[in-house]
Amino acid sequence: MGSLILIILVIIPGVRSADWGVTFKSQCALKGTSVVIKCTYDYPVGHFVTSVSWSKAQRESDRWSLVPLSNLPSPPNHFRYVGNYWRDCSLQVNDVQHSDDGFYFFKFVTTLNRWTSKSYAHLSVRELTAVGQPSTVTEGGNVSLTCVSGCLTPVDVVWFRDGQRVLNPVFQARKEDAGRYYCAVLGQETIRSAAVALNVQYAPENVTLSVTPSGDVVKGDSVTLTCSSDARPPVAQSGYRLYKDGHFIGLGQNHTIADIQHSQGGLYSCQAWNNISWRGIDFINSTEVHLDVRYHPVNISISMNPLRVLEGSSVTLSCSSDSNPAADNYTWYKRTASPNSTLQVGSGQVLSIPSVDASHTGLYLCRARNALGENNSTEVLLATTEEEHGGQPLAVIAGISVALLVTLVFALLLLWRKHRTHAEKQVTTSNQTVSDFGLSGRGSSSSATEEQSDNVYVNIHTLPSCPPPATDTTPLSQRISHHEHDAPASNEDEVTYSTVSIKPRNPRLPHSINNSRARQDSWSKTGVNDDSVIYTTVAKSS
């Protein structure tokens, strides 16, 4: 504040020269304020001041010149002389601007002389500067704001964030504290600092997975999954991860599925990551989105229960389909005689026929429908099963076998009674023989007679009417030789096996053999080489 008193003695005839002078006080002013440059002046007794003026040193090219304030391009009333015409020469500057910074000189004219100050008043124009420490903070971190004035004069300041008063310049950052801060002179809020930004970083929040288009997704649609979040810094593309049913699908904010399939439905979620952890978690999960892919019925099939239908019994046909939502309308059709013509025979998922008759046989199909469409099953044949047909289930075959067997055994029994009188002891053969041959046929069952097989083996499990054991071997007919030998079995309750061999006649062999040894030989030969003899053996197991 160099306050300079410059007394210049000017030799003017008849006037004391020691009293001429101007005293200034230099000033520092904040931009926007009004400031008074204090100034006093003096002159010898006997003079009367006739005019006063202020000028400012302006640099033009390389030399300075004094420009009267009235010649400066400034708004009216920017400079205002607040002094008087005898001692005070103070100057007020309103709404100080940086352009006002500089050196000011005072000049006055008296009745006898004129005087220009040799010294000057310096006006420095400064500003408030706001500083936030740190300028970037993670949510929860401490922030302290300071306001620095360019002038030494202390000044009370207040703080604003985006125009809102901030009460405390030291705080823990929340995400909403981010913004632009400035300080201002208390009571003169227009006099303010430039704004400084406070950046508050935080981990992703409100991580949301959305599906477009919204609403129902139908198989074949194109669907885009978008992960979004509120985060600072914003989540980069590579910071987003998409999951389906807990399995990683891919990186990126958007994921498009063109031609979506049923299998692509499921529980989707995404994660967002921006390098800021939240309570130790780096990857923040979104809410889950259930993607439900709807499709019309496919894989429609009919199951029939039971598989083999006897006339007069009941049958149910069930229609099943795969669809989303589940099919809610099933219709049953039966093909009619005329080609490509069908008759609706029922509705509902199950078609029951309590008593099947010939009119029910034919081709059936069902149609399944849901809101998205319909389709038909393949056709199934409903046919009644008859016993003479081949390929029946085992139970039927067993029944037929037993029936045939019983018939055969009765026939054998009749033959046995008829030829009982011719029974001979020597015909008795060992069980050994029977087992050699009979066992080879055990278990054979299927349609031997129809297939014209050479050998017929039948197992008899019970023979309640079997008479006491006896043995017999006899030629049975003219067309075939029939050798029969019963093992000398013991008890009526035991299981009896019957073996029947039917073979074309071989003329080289004798029709009957009385010697048991020779007979065993012929058995052996017959079993291996000879097709021409037909044997029947009924053995009762021991």
Ligand X SMILES: *[C@@H]1O[C@H](CO)[C@@H](O)[C@H](O)[C@H]1NC(C)=O
Residues near ligand X (CB under 6 A):
243, 246, 262, 269, 275-276, 285, 298-299, 322, 329, 333, 342, 367, 374-376
Supply the minimum distance, in Å, between the C-beta of residue 362 and ligand X.
13
Contact (CB, 8 A) for 121 and 104: yes
CB of 269 to ligand X, least distance (A): 5
Residue pair 347/317 in contact by the 8 Å Cβ criterion: no
| Alpha-carbon span 428 to 472, nearest angstrom | 7
Nearer to ligand X by C-beta: 113 or 375? 375
Minimum distance of ligand X from residue 329's CB (angstroms) = 4
**Smallest distance, ligand X to C-beta of residue 349, A:** 11
162 touches 198 (CB < 8 A)? no
Intra-chain end-to-end CA distance of the chain, in Å: 143
Residue 274 zone, left/alpha/beta (φ > 0; ψ -120 to 50; rest): alpha
Residue type, 186: L
Please tell me the number of Cα atoms within 13 Å of 21 on its side-chain side.
13
Question: Using CB atoms within 10 A of its CB, is residue 187 exposed (0-12), middle (13-18) or buried (19+)?
Answer: exposed
Tokens of 250: 């891919």
Beta carbon nearer to ligand X, 120 or 202: 202
C-alpha span between 494 and 463 (Å, rounded): 8
Cα-trace Rg, the chain: 61
Residue 116 or 342: the one with the smaller Cβ distance to ligand X is 342
Which residue, 180 or 294, has its beta carbon nearer to ligand X? 294
Which among 1, 299, 288 is positioned nearest to 124, based on CA atoms? 1
Smallest gap, in angstroms, from Cβ of residue 272 to ligand X?
11
Backbone angles phi, psi at 322, to 5 degrees: -110, 120
Q: Which is nearer to ligand X, 159 or 333 (CB)?
A: 333
Q: How far is the CB of 484 from ligand X (least distance, A)?
A: 58
Cα 265–Cα 268–Cα 271 angle in degrees, nearest 5? 160
Decide whether 178 or 427 has the Cβ nearer to ligand X.
Answer: 178
* φ and ψ at residue 245, rounded to 5 degrees: 50, 40
- The residue (of 270 and 476) whose beta carbon lies closer to ligand X is 270
- Please, what is the minimum distance in Å from the beta carbon of residue 178 to ligand X? 16
**Could you tell me the smallest distance in angstroms from the CB atom of residue 431 to ligand X?**
57
Q: What does the block give as tokens for 85? A: 């015409």
Q: Are strands 329-335 and 315-324 parallel, antiparallel or unpaired?
A: unpaired
Measuring CA to CA, how many Å separate 312 from each of 306, 336, 352, 355, 383?
13, 21, 13, 5, 12
Residue 63 beta carbon to ligand X: minimum distance, rounded to whole angstroms? 56
The nearer residue to ligand X, 147 or 200, going by C-beta atoms, is 200
> Which of 197, 276, 270 shows the shortest CA–CA distance to 233?
276
**Closest Cα partner for 173 from 147, 200, 203, 204?**
200
Residue closer to ligand X, measured from CB, 294 or 505: 294
Helical pair 516-528 and 431-438, crossing angle rounded to 10 deg: 10
List Cβ neighbours of 26 (8 Å cut-off, separation of 6 or more).
1, 2, 3, 37, 121, 122, 123, 124
Amino acid at 348: G
In the complex, the smallest distance separating the C-beta of residue 326 from ligand X, rounded to whole angstroms, is 13
Closer CB to ligand X, 187 or 339, in the complex: 339
Nearest to 220 by CA among 290, 293, 292, 289: 293
Output the smallest distance, CB 240 to ligand X, in A.
Answer: 13
Nearer to ligand X, 236 or 480 (CB): 236
Q: Which residues are CB-neighbours of 21 under 8 A, at least 6 positions away?
A: 5, 6, 7, 8, 41, 42
Which one, 35 or 284, has the nearer CB to ligand X? 284
CA 211/CA 103 separation, integer angstroms: 69
Tell me the residue type at 340.
N
User: HEC string of 168-206?
Assistant: CCEEECCHHHCEEEEEEECCEEEEECCCEEEEEEEEEEE
**Closest separation between CB of residue 180 and ligand X, Å?**
23
Q: How far is the CB of 294 from ligand X (least distance, A)?
A: 11
Nearer Cβ to ligand X (298/304): 298
| Cβ closest to ligand X, residue 106 vs residue 273 | 273
Q: Side-chain half-sphere of 503: how many Cα atoms within 13 Å?
A: 23
Question: Closest separation between CB of residue 3 and ligand X, Å?
Answer: 55
